[in-house]
Amino acid sequence: MLLIAQNHLQLIVEVGLMLFVSLVFFLNLIPLSLSVVTFLSLFLMGGFTLLFGADIALLVISSSQAEFTHPFGPLALLGAVTALASLKVMKESGVDIRPLRRFVILFIGCITIFGGLMHRSFLILWLLGLFLGYLMISKSFREKSVFTLRRVLIFIGAAGVGFILLEVIARVSGMTIFSPLLRMGRIEQYSLSSIKTVLNNIQLIGHNAKASYWGAEGTAFAEGYITLPMQFVLFFGLPFPMFFGVLVNQKDTIDYMLPGIFGWGFDFGILGLVGLMVFVLGTILIGFKILNIYREKREKNNKKYLGREVLLTGALAAFCAQALIGMFVFNRSINGMALLTFIFVGALILANVVTLKSRE
C-alpha cells in the first residue's frame, strides 16, 4: 500500500522516480553512438513535423485539433537541438553535413510554422529553446556567439511581422484561435483575479479550502489543479479529485491563465513550490556539470560519449525552455501531459549521473 499514490503529488513523484530508473537502464544498456542519436533526433523531428502539420490541417478543415504542441513541443525541441549539436560534432570531424543540414533546417522551419500557428506559447518556447541550444553548442565548442546585435534586431523584427500576420490571418479567415490579441486579452481578463486568489489563499502546505472549487469536500492539497494526464490517473483507477467537462473551466483560472509558480504554489503550498524550484535548479546545474565533463572528454579525443553529449545538450535546452515558460509564463506548459514530458526530460538529464559514474 505504501507504493500506491494517495494524491496527485505522490503520483508525480513516483512516476518521476520510475522514469529516472528506466532511463538509467536505457542509457547503460543501449549503446548511444553519435550516428544512432543523430538518426533518432531526425526521426523525432520528422515525426513531430507530420504530427503538428496534421493538427493544424484539422484545425483549418474541421475546426478541431488535438493541440499536440503543448505536450510534445519540448520533445520536438529536444530533437532539434540534438540534431544541431550532432551536425556540429560531425562538421568538426570533417564530415560533409550539407545533406543532413537541409533536412534539419526543413524540419525546424515546418515545426516553427505549424506549431506557431497552433499556439503562441509553443512559439515562445520553441524560439527560446533554439536560442539556448545555440548558446550551449557555441559554448561547448568554444566559439563566438552567433547572436550579434544586428541578428537580434532582425529576429525581433521578424517576430513582430509574424505577430501582425497572425492577426491578419485571424481576421480574414474569421478563425479567432489564430489571434494573438485575443490570447493576450484572455490572459489580461483572467490572470489578475487568479493571482489574487492564489496570493490570498496559499498556505505552507496546500491552500485555503474555501478558495477551492471543491470547498469543504476537497482536500485543500493536491486537488488536481496540477496533475499528470487525466487518462493516466483513470487508467490506474486512482481515487483522486479530477476536473471533468464544464468543471475544467474552474481549473483554467489556476491552470492555463497563470504562471506555473502560482499554480504549483496554490495546489501544493509553499513547500511544494520550493520543491519544484529545487528540482528545476538542481537538474539544470547537474546537467551543465555533466555536459562540461563530456566536453572535456571530447577535447581529449575520447569519442565514447559523443552521442550522450549531443543528447544531453538537446535535453538541457528543452528542459530549460520548458521550465522558464511553464514556471513564469503559462502553467499549462508544465501541467497535464506536458508535465509528464517535463519529468521525462528532467529524468533523462539526471540519468547521465549514474551512466557517467558507472563508466568511470
Which tens digit of pLDDT belongs to each residue from 48-74? 999 998 888 887 776 666 678 888 999
Evaluate whether 47 touches 83 at the Cβ level (below 8 Å).
no
- Give the number of other Cβ atoms within 10 Å of residue 103's Cβ: 13
Res 228: pLDDT = 93
Mean pLDDT of 118-133: 87
Q: Is the separation of the CB atoms in 70 and 333 below 8 Å?
A: yes
What is the reported pLDDT for 209? 87
Q: Can you tell me the distance from the alpha carbon of 319 to that of 348, in angstroms, rounded to the nearest whole number?
A: 10
Residue 71: which residues within 8 A CB-CB, separation 6 or more?
A: 336, 337, 338, 340, 341
Instruction: Determine the 3-state secondary structure of 202 from DSSP.
Output: strand
Over residues 192-208, the pLDDT tens digits come to: 778 888 989 999 999 99
**What is the pTM for the complete model shown?**
0.89
Tell me: the pLDDT tens digits for 294-349?
A: 999 998 888 888 999 999 999 999 999 999 999 998 888 999 999 999 999 999 99
Q: pLDDT tier at 182 (50, 70, 90 boundaries)? A: low
Going by pLDDT thresholds of 50, 70 and 90, the confidence category of residue 77 is very high
pLDDT reported for residue 183: 66
Spatial distance between the Cα atoms of 194 and 214, rounded to a whole number of angstroms = 16
Q: Is residue 357 scored above 60 in pLDDT?
A: no
Neighbours of 215 (CB within 10 A): 10
